[in-house]
Amino acid sequence: MMAMEEEEEKKRRWKRFSCRNSVSDSPSPINGLDDGCLMHIFSFLSPIPDRYNAALVCDRWRYLACHPRLWLRVDRSIKDFSEPGVFPNIETAISAARPGDTILIAAGGNHLASNIQIKKPLCLIGGGELPDDTILICSRGSDSAFEFLSTCKVANLTVKAELGCCLLHRRGRLTIEGCLLQCDENPLDYLSCPIVSTASSSDVLPTSGEKCRGDGVSVSRTRIEGGSKAVLTSGTLALQRVRVIYARTALFFWFDVEHL
């Protein structure tokens, strides 16, 4: 009798052990989805940090999270640019981008950005942990690094202008988040300005998604250095909801530029 009970107990233990192993060895439910479904889920994640962190999970997630359908990449370290969605410089990436695309600019080294016009809604994001990791240089003789003629977002980037402005806003809604805008100090410092907006009510061309908000510039968690003025505006624009933190080496800004 005792032998039969011991045998039954062994069977129960083996059954529990087998069940645990089958559960642990089985793939995660989300990994059971096909690539198209999983990529659609990734499209709802914010590019930084959520989609970026998803790319660190495994090889499959990295491939899907970095797929050109979700964002384009600017990476000069890659030798073979036949891979779709990868470009050697920012200008070619912007030319190839579709409205609504996100462009991830690789960290490390300096990227040239001079008088690049953006006429479609895009998001430009630095690929480093800090804005100082991804540096865009606007050379002397250029009016600006970027000229925005559509609703766009710039995040986690350092933009340096030798003379002129870092970002030139013409129309649309421009969002600047977690960036460093720097005008080099020189005898012509009065000609430099980190942000210039020339939008006015006469040339407003808002996108369908921005009709209720109109044109303007929103800046948050952004450090501004150099230039005689932090922001230069014309037309009917005015600074609103301004918050500034003054430090010994920098000014940190939160503000909106809106129509009166």
- Range(s) of the domain holding residue 147: 88-259
235 dihedral zone (left: phi>0; alpha: psi -120 to 50; beta): left
Render the burial of 29-50: b for 16+ CB within 10 Å, e for the rest.
eeeeeeeeebbeebeeeebbee
165, part of any domain:
yes
CB 224 within 8 A of CB 217: no
219, part of any domain:
yes
| Tokens of residue 194, six digits | 């980190």
When divided into structural domains, the chain yields a total of: 1
* Calpha distance 36→194 (Å, rounded): 41
The pLDDT value given to residue 53: 84
78, part of any domain:
no
Give ∠ CA 6-8-10 in degrees, rounded to 5. 70
64, part of any domain:
no
42, part of any domain:
no
The pLDDT value given to residue 152: 95
The pTM of the whole model exceeds 0.85: no
End-to-end Cα distance, the chain: 92
Residues of the chain predicted below pLDDT 70? 1-28, 48, 81, 185-191, 201-213, 260
Q: Which amino acid is at 41?
A: I
Tokens 């988040």 -> residue: 177
20, part of any domain:
no
226, part of any domain:
yes
Residues 6+ apart with CB under 8 A from 102: 47, 70, 71, 72, 122, 123, 125
4, part of any domain:
no
